[in-house]
Amino acid sequence: MIDIDELDDKFSIEGEIGFGELENDLVFVTVSNIHADADICLYGAHVTSFRPQNAMDILWMSPESSFEVGKPIRGGIPVCFPWFGPHKTDPEKPQHGFGRLMYWDMAGTATLPGGESQIRLQLCSSEETKAYWPHDFCAEMTFVVGRTLQVSLKVTNTSAKPFEYTCALHSYYNLSAIDNITIEGLQGTTYYNQLTGENGIQEEETLQIQEPMTRHYLDTEAPVVIADSVFRRRIKAEKTGSKVTTIWNPGEETCAKIGDLPDDAYHAFVCVEATNAFGFPIKLAPGESHETSAMIGLEE
């Protein structure tokens, strides 16, 4: 049982960072500063909202998301760790790993010199994690809420042997409609089309999504811009420590089969993800660390 009063005593910053049960008794960090407001669920280390001042939410949340332990939250920024997609050898293990299905511990909060808020959460190996994955590790999620949102997953190998993992910061972006957007920054990049099993190269200057799409753009660290002609905004998604950019929209047929999505939700979001998988896993020797970061904001 998480003691919110204890969290407040240790980690709250008056008028800026607090704690509350926002959804179905799940505990959230709430952030409000001169730059933006944000909500971060301790379950899954999951950002559910990022609202720059005088702007609508950049992130999209499913109105039918399950907010209960044992089920992933749908929308915002799920953390896929220590594997991306289905487990390689055991289909009974959870899709996208266990990182989004466990409570993370508070590790620290701070106000940065520019007025940004920093929140750090931690998940380290335990009997619970070893039921899924045999390795000793410590993972830290750091969130910096400012004019932009920076989300970083740092994984450290605390074992005596090397290990390998895959991961993603699986961001859902809030759109006026999927038909109104274009995605810039991927021209000339090779991608793996998961729906057909084939590779391709994007020749077009901008990507328009007119059908179901699961593309993994390979060996790219380029920033991506989501241009929304009706909301009249350009969302810039930058990243570091990630060699794959995943673009996902389920389309009408698949969307209707996903239980925690409204049938027409595919109109309202696109996922642009900072990924390490598909030939670009992370390999850590004992004591080594790797950090995967996404930086999200409005282009001014």
Q: Are 185 and 224 in contact (CB under 8 A)?
A: yes
Give tens-digit pLDDT for 269-291: 999 999 999 999 999 999 999 99
Q: What pLDDT does 185 receive?
A: 98
CATH number at residue 52: 2.70.98.10
Question: How would you list the strands of the sheet with 17-23, edge to edge?
Answer: 17-23, 26-32, 36-41, 46-52
Q: What mean pLDDT is predicted for residues 92-114?
A: 97
pLDDT value at position 300? 77
pLDDT of residue 170 exceeding 90: yes
Helix and strand tally (H, E) in the chain? Answer: 3, 23
Name the domain count of the chain.
1
- Which whole-number Å values give the CA distances from 60 to 233, 246, 264, in the listed order? 15, 17, 14
207-221 pLDDT tens trace = 999 999 999 999 999
Q: What is the pLDDT of residues 62-76, one digit of tens each?
A: 999 999 999 999 999
H-helix segments, the chain: 4-11, 127-130, 251-257
Q: Residue 65: what pLDDT?
A: 96
Neighbours of 58 (CB within 10 A): 25
Residue 6, classed as helix, strand or coil, is helix
Number of alpha carbons in the 13 Å side-chain half-sphere of residue 27 = 17
Cis preceding linkage at 78, omega within 30 = no
- d(Cα 180, Cα 212) in Å, to the nearest integer? 15
Q: Give the model's pLDDT for residue 24.
A: 86
The confidence score (pLDDT) of residue 176 equals 98
- The pLDDT value recorded for residue 206 is 98
**Mean pLDDT along residues 230-237:** 98
Domain region containing 124? 4-298
Q: Which three-class secondary structure state does DSSP give residue 94?
A: coil
pLDDT of residue 120 exceeding 90: yes
Q: What is the mean pLDDT of residues 162-187?
A: 98
